[in-house]
Structure 1
Amino acid sequence: MKKMLKTSHDNKSSINILPLIDVIFFLLVFFMLFTTFRASPEGLDLQLPSAETVVEQPQENIVVNIDEQGQYSLEGDIMSLDEIRAEVRNTALEDGEIKEDLVVVINADENVSYQYLIHVMDGLRQEGIYNLALAAEREI
């Protein structure tokens, strides 16, 4: 008799997890490389070094004053906003270019409305002057 061929069909299925591990590793590396790490909104707590040979860079400052009534003055002379813009522009121009080290300091009374500050800042920016600073008194 013929031997009966016995065929067994073992249908054991197996899951090949190597591609899954590759995909997970790729995602891990991707997120590590392209995730931005944010600092706290307060900033970093740093103790900056001090130097004994500090040399201050000379900066040219123009001070625009605004009193409580909203009057503008430059170097003690009361002027309109257009006159302030023209005077600052003439002072700021050097060989047809705005001086880069020029800083316009706006010294406004603490009771003045914000609209006066914004008018000055907008007017100076329209003239191409972007280095602006607001003056404040230091509390002791």
Structure 2
Amino acid sequence: MAFLRKKRESPRVDLTPMVDVVFLLLIFFMISTTFVETPGISVKLPESSSQQRSQDIKEIKVYLSKDGDIFLGKEPVDMAELRRRLRTHGERVAEMTFLLLADKEALHGKVVALMDLAKETGFAKLAIATEQRERR
């Protein structure tokens, strides 16, 4: 008696569910990622419950790290160089905002010195950046 042998199928792995999971993870990470506007300077902003965002587009961003380093935009500067660069803006400073992003552990004296420098160079508007305090 001759038995018919069934052809044996080789096992296959269906990749469709794995591709679906990868796409779902990709979408999740794309949506949950926040885009930060601050450059790679490590500054921990103090928290405030009354945070306001200035609507002015014209602003000068000055960063003060906890070590006392000063940055104008992304460029490190000292106090004299900052004063010189701020004076190059001339009469436009009256309409611009001096945005100070100081680390919460920065020395108070440096923060006050930067605020005085803003007033001395003619800035009429001064904003101090903070992060929104979590409600408890």
Please state which band the TM-score falls in when normalised by the shorter chain.
Answer: 0.5 to 0.7
TM-score normalized by structure 1? 0.52
- Please say if residues 63 and 100 of structure 2, whose CA atoms lie closer than 8 Å, have aligned partners that are also in contact: yes
**Relative contact order (alpha carbons < 8 A, sep ≥ 6): 1 or 2 greater?**
2
Partner of 1:67: 65
Rg comparison, structure with higher value: 1
Task: Provide the secondary structure at the position in 2 that maps to 1:88.
Answer: helix
TM-score, length basis structure 2? 0.54
The question of whether the paired residues in 2 share the 8 Å contact of 1:64 and 1:74 is answered with yes
Instruction: Tell me which of 126, 129, 132 is aligned to 1:132.
Output: 126
Consecutive unaligned residues in structure 1, runs of 5 or more: 1-55
Letter in 2 for 1:107: L
Instruction: Report if the CA contact (8 A) 1:105-1:134 is conserved.
Output: yes
Question: Identity across aligned pairs (percent)?
Answer: 22
Report the secondary structure of 2:122's partner residue. coil
Deviations for 1:55-95, whole angstroms, at most 9, x for unmatched residues? x965301110000111100111111011112112213x2xx
Alignment-mate amino acid for residue 79 of structure 2:
L
What letter is aligned with 2:102? A
Say what the alpha-carbon RMSD is for the aligned residues. Answer: 1.9
Q: Does 1:123 align with 2:117?
A: yes
